[in-house]
């Protein structure tokens, strides 16, 4: 009982610190030019996540920041593996839907990969880093050490889904899918021993949807994406205004990605290339 009280207290304190820091950072960054779009608020939100995770980890757990899975000397290979997996999962789903009557590509703009693409990449890299440090770095590491790896993964996935409750067009199915996405990212954290693999997955998962002119968790970022795509199928399949994460079509993709990570980990006993420790 005492263990649960302590865990709940730590999680609650860290969430409150993140909310407080977000309020302060948002006030500080609000005067920045509106021409920068959602970037200042994104920086504020994810700086708050990282700061709250750092303070809680350093002063409540009394452990170095790198113990959350951020080894700065071994990041390139797992990050690239994660980025590739994120692209393959979203790209594969997009292509499958394109073959059906439920999604139509109406335009191609190669220039969308330049200024809009770089802006979008920067924004979603910040999102991936901040959210993964807070959820898989602090929360999952903390909970897994007390509850076991899989309970830690599932509990953190619930929290990850709950963090998106206020997103536009959020309903039950998107929340279920975001829970499954949280499990995928949590398994990536577990099998790699670090955060760089899930950061890579998270980054390209979001960025590729934006470059395909689709909403990302209910949010539209780029006006001039690489492709112009229109979802014409039922919202419960394609996701509608929430994006691919809001439809049933993404569920097999999330399960497949999670299964592949577990298969790779078990078949190689965590000695394959995507481990942060190699």
pLDDT digits (tens, 9 = 90+) for 26-57: 999 888 867 778 899 999 999 999 999 999 99
93 pLDDT tier (thresholds 50, 70, 90): very high
The whole-number pLDDT of residue 269 equals 56
Q: Could you give the CA distance from residue 196 to residue 213 in angstroms, rounded to a whole number?
A: 26
pLDDT tens column, 163-206 = 999 999 999 999 999 999 999 999 999 999 999 999 999 999 99
Burial class (CB within 10 angstroms; exposed 0-12, middle 13-18, buried 19+) of 37 = middle
Burial class (CB within 10 angstroms; exposed 0-12, middle 13-18, buried 19+) of 174 = buried
Kindly tell me if the per-residue pLDDT of 89 is higher than 70.
yes
Cite the beta strand spans of 189-253 per DSSP E.
227-231
Q: Which two tokens stand for residue 11?
A: 């999680």
Burial class (CB within 10 angstroms; exposed 0-12, middle 13-18, buried 19+) of 208 = buried
The strand pair at 227-231 and 103-108 is best described as antiparallel
pLDDT tens column, 208-217 = 999 999 999 9
The whole-number pLDDT of residue 278 equals 35
The whole-number pLDDT of residue 2 equals 67
pLDDT tens column, 20-34 = 999 999 999 888 867
The whole-number pLDDT of residue 273 equals 45
Kindly tell me if the per-residue pLDDT of 234 is higher than 50.
yes
208 CB-near residues (< 8 Å, 6+ apart): 86, 87, 90, 91, 94
274 pLDDT tier (thresholds 50, 70, 90): very low
Kindly tell me if the per-residue pLDDT of 112 is higher than 90.
no
Question: For the chain, how are helix, strand and coil distributed in percent, rounded to 5?
Answer: 70, 5, 25
The whole-number pLDDT of residue 259 equals 96
pTM: 0.92
Q: What is the mean pLDDT of the chain?
A: 90
pLDDT top residue among 226 and 105: 105
The whole-number pLDDT of residue 5 equals 84
Q: Are 225 and 113 in contact (CB under 8 A)?
A: no
Q: How much is the average pLDDT of 245-267?
A: 93
Q: How many residues does the chain have?
A: 278
DSSP lists the bridge partners of residue 229 as: 105
The whole-number pLDDT of residue 91 equals 95
Q: Could you give the CA distance from residue 93 to residue 244 in angstroms, rounded to a whole number?
A: 9
Q: Could you give the CA distance from residue 47 to residue 45 in angstroms, rounded to a whole number?
A: 6
Place of tokens 């113990």: 67
The whole-number pLDDT of residue 6 equals 85
pLDDT tens column, 63-74 = 888 888 998 888
The whole-number pLDDT of residue 223 equals 78
pLDDT tens column, 114-165 = 888 899 999 999 999 999 999 999 999 999 998 899 999 999 999 999 999 9
Kindly tell me if the per-residue pLDDT of 277 is higher than 60.
no
175 CB-near residues (< 8 Å, 6+ apart): 161, 162, 164, 165
């Amino acid at each position: 009982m005492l263990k649960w009280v302590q865990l709940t207290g730590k999680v609650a304190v860290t969430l409150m610190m993140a909310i407080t820091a977000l309020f302060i950072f948002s006030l500080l960054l609000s005067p920045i030019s509106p021409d920068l779009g959602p970037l200042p608020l994104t920086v504020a939100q994810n700086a708050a996540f990282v700061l709250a995770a750092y303070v809680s980890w350093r002063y409540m757990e009394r452990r170095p920041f790198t113990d959350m899975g951020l080894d700065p000397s071994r990041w390139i290979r797992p990050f690239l593996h994660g980025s590739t997996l994120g692209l393959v999962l979203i790209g594969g789903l997009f292509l499958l839907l394109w073959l059906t009557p439920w999604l139509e590509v109406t335009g191609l703009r190669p220039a969308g990969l330049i200024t809009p693409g770089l802006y979008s990449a920067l924004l979603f890299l910040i999102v991936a880093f901040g959210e993964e440090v807070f959820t898989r770095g602090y929360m999952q590491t903390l909970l897994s050490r007390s509850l076991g790896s899989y309970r830690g993964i599932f509990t953190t996935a619930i929290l990850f889904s709950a963090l998106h409750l206020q997103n536009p067009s959020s309903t039950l199915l998107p929340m279920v899918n975001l829970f499954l996405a949280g499990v995928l990212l949590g398994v990536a954290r577990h099998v790699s021993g670090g955060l760089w693999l899930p950061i890579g997955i998270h980054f390209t998962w979001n960025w590729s949807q934006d470059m395909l002119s689709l909403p990302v968790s209910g949010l539209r970022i780029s006006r001039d994406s690489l492709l112009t795509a229109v979802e014409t199928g039922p919202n419960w399949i394609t996701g509608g205004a929430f994006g691919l994460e809001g439809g049933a079509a993404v569920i097999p993709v999330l399960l497949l990605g999670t299964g592949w990570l577990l298969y790779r980990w078990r078949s190689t006993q965590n000695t394959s290339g995507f481990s942060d420790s190699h």
